Amino acid sequence: NVLRFNPSFPDELRRVKFHLRYRGHWLDLDLHADRLKIEALKSGAHPVQVQVRDKLYDLDQGTTIECAL
């Protein structure tokens, strides 16, 4: 079970920011055409795996992933 992201932006869209609930985690996502930031808020949930393009990350509560797209 992996939460996967492989974003592709239209030229008119510069940024998308939203909250997502996934397997007990509240995630804050800040997505730009060239980078993605995912913050897992403190929740008491077990770590989850997140895949951004071809790279796999372990995401635990209270941690942040930032990666170039």
Instruction: Give tens-digit pLDDT for 36-60.
Output: 999 999 999 999 999 999 999 999 9
Would you state the pLDDT for residue 11? 85
Range 27-39 average pLDDT? 96
Would you state the pLDDT for residue 37? 98
CA distances from 58 to 19, 34, 55, 65 (A): 18, 21, 10, 9
Query: Which residue in this structure is represented by tokens 């510069």?
Result: 14
Q: Is pLDDT of 9 > 90? A: no
